A = this chain, B = another copy of it.
Amino acid sequence: MELQAREIGVLTTLIEDYIQTAAPVGSRTIAKKSNLNLSPASIRKIMADLAEKGYLEQPHTSAGRIPSAQGFRFYVDAILKYHPLPSDEQNLMAEHLDDARLDVPDLLRNASRFLSAFTQQVGMVLAPKANDIGFKHIDFILLKPGLVMAILVVEGGIVQNKIMPADPGLNSDDLIKFSNYLNQLFQGRVLAQVRARIVQEMDAVRRQYQAMARQALDLAQQAFAVDREREVFVEGTVNFFGHPEFSNPAKLRELLALLEERSRLLELLDQVSKSKGISIFFGREVEQDSVQEYTLISSPYQGQDTPLGVVGIIGPIRMNYAKVVPLVEFTAQVISRLLKNRF
């Protein structure tokens, strides 16, 4: 099932022409554009072979061929050589993102915008999972009697807040004591450790009848309960309209629905976040009845060592991989570098 050099040549020419024109490619075009010096008739023979092996598809008899998902897969995995991003684009992106006054969510949102603008696709950035981030500070504020807001700050300046009911007898001074106690207790730990510490400490204070600590830990437990979806920054959905494959409103609708339904999107991103480096994912290869006509290109980013989240773009299968892939990779690197600075 391996491909010969000539077959690879035809496939490459065909895919690169198809990426530009979005139309089925015929044997004459390939004969002219490739440097194989073969006649259209011979090309046709090769194309027939490629179609039989599953790399090409034919929309109908007597149309040209278009690459199948398998064809694209081979192209991005085995054929395409990726060149590093031009340094002026590197600088442009680094300059705009490297601003200490941006908090992490803003940084990630901007990165998503850049990806979208540079690739003419839809940019996406999955925010870090809170679990692995270092605790910084917690504060309780009395909104009204019996209602307390917890404000939780983690490294990198990510702020989370949560409103919760509490003992109506608590006053502001109590809450300040709580914060002081907890801040000291949790210092220098990551959130997962903080949660463990809460359970452990609750046990200890219960035996020692420390009322203040017990109340504080009760509140802390509520504040640290995980019930928030991870944020995803999606930018540039308007770019979908530029691609002829989405002139069909039904397909467009499907894809926009996917982006709006954060839970499905999160699941998808979670799947790809486990891969090590850059990952190229064709909708067609996996899901049966859902949106099939898209590609997701993504790369994880990390803080110190642990992977934190994912950056990526989503667009039609037909896209300029040679340009997009290095850009996604570079963006992930920039974010990793900037977050290392902050965490």
Chain A positions within 8 Å of B, measured between CB atoms, are 100-103, 136-137, 139, 141, 143-144, 147, 149, 151, 153, 155-157, 159, 161-165, 236-238, 241, 247, 249, 252-253, 256-257, 260, 342
**C-alpha spacing A236/B142, complex, angstroms:** 34
A236 vs B257: C-alpha distance when bound (angstroms)? 9
Q: Which residues of B contact A103 (CB under 8 A)?
A: 149, 161-163
Query: How would you classify the secondary structure of chain A's contact residues: helix, strand, loop or mixed?
Result: mixed
Q: Is the Cβ of A100 less than 8 Å from the Cβ of B147?
A: yes
Contacts of A241 in B (CB 8 A): 249, 252-253, 256
- Return A182 CB to nearest CB of chain B, in Å: 14
The 8 Å CB contact of A163, one of B101, B147, B155, is B101
Q: Is the CB of B256 within 8 A of A100?
A: no
- Assess whether B136 is in contact with A157, with CB atoms less than 8 Å apart: no
Say whether, besides A238-B260, A249-B249, A151 and B139 are in contact (CB < 8 Å). Answer: yes
A99 to chain B, nearest CB (A): 9
A162 to B159, CA, bound (A): 10
In the assembly, what is the distance between CA of A335 and CA of B15, in Å?
54
Report A113 CB to chain B, min CB distance, Å: 11
Residues of chain B with a CB closer than 8 A to A151's CB: 139, 151, 153, 159
**A237, B252: Cα distance in complex, Å:** 12
B136 A141 Cβ-Cβ under 8 A = yes
Give the Cβ gap from A143 to chain B, nearest Cβ, in Å. Answer: 6
Q: How far is the CA of A43 from the CA of B207 in the complex (A)?
A: 88
